């Protein structure tokens, strides 16, 4: 107990509130109201806000780029895969590969800027892009448009593989994009 200089500290935003807490990043004294508990300890609101800005670097144009890149590659891959006969089950293996490919392309084209919304937009665009070339297949399933029942059965099975393909593509794309952010 060396109390020769009992310096009282006050919250940097509320000068009337005495406090013992300090922000563990900038060292500012903070009152309990101003303190934000983060995984690394108490921080002031300014530092927390600053951190979020560092993580969310995406610009408006990045959303457009992400939609074009993810949707474009998604559609292109879907068109190419439709040309492969009897691909069925293998779509499940190809889905994550295409997802990773799109993730790399998106990250590269937006210069690794990021935000949660950007990742969601890119994933959504990839799903829509992958679905578009499937529209003729979906039309086949509308009763009346298709009188050939044997081809209908094949289309249904194909639709199941396509569905799994798009699901795996989207989840691997999204988690790859998000994973980069955590690092
Ligand atoms: Zn701080
Ligand atoms: Zn305060």
66-123 residue pLDDT tens: 999 999 999 999 999 888 877 788 999 999 999 999 999 999 999 999 888 999 999 9
Whether pTM > 0.85 for this model: the answer is no
Confidence of residue 136 (pLDDT cuts 50, 70, 90): confident
CA gap 35, 45 in Å, rounded: 7
Cα(25) to centroid of ligand 1, in Å? 5
Q: Which sequence spans correspond to the domains of the chain? A: 1-54, 56-182
CA distance 164 to 162: 5
**How close is the Cα of 42 to the center of ligand 1, in Å?**
9
> What residues pack around ion ligand 2 (CB closer than 5 A)?
11, 13-14, 31, 34
Q: Percentage of residues in the chain with pLDDT exceeding 70?
A: 85
Longest CA span, the chain? 95
Ligand 1 centroid – CA 57 distance (Å): 20
Three-state DSSP at 95 gives helix
Q: Output DSSP code: residue 28.
A: -
Residue 33 CB: number of other CB atoms within 10 A?
Answer: 11
State the angle between helix axes of 90-109 and 149-182 in degrees (0 to 180), rounded to the nearest 10. Answer: 40
Neighbours of ion ligand 1 (CB under 5 A): 23, 25-26, 44, 47
């Amino acid at each position: 107990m060396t109390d020769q200089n009992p310096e009282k500290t006050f919250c940097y935003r509320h000068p009337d509130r005495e406090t013992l807490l300090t922000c563990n990043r900038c060292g500012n004294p903070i009152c309990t109201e101003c303190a934000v508990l983060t995984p690394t300890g108490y921080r002031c609101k300014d530092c927390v806000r600053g951190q979020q800005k560092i993580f969310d670097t995406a610009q408006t144009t990045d959303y457009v780029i992400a939609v074009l890149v993810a949707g474009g590659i998604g559609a292109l891959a879907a068109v190419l895969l439709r040309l492969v006969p009897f691909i069925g089950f293998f779509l499940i293996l190809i889905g994550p590969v295409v997802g990773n490919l799109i993730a790399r392309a998106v990250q590269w084209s937006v210069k690794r800027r990021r935000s949660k919304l950007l990742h969601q937009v890119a994933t959504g665009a990839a799903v829509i892009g992958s679905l578009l070339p499937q529209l003729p297949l979906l039309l086949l399933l509308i009763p009346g448009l298709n009188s050939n029942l044997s081809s209908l059965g094949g289309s249904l099975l194909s639709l199941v593989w396509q569905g799994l393909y798009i699901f795996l593509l989207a989840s691997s794309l999204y988690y790859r994009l998000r994973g980069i952010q955590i690092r």
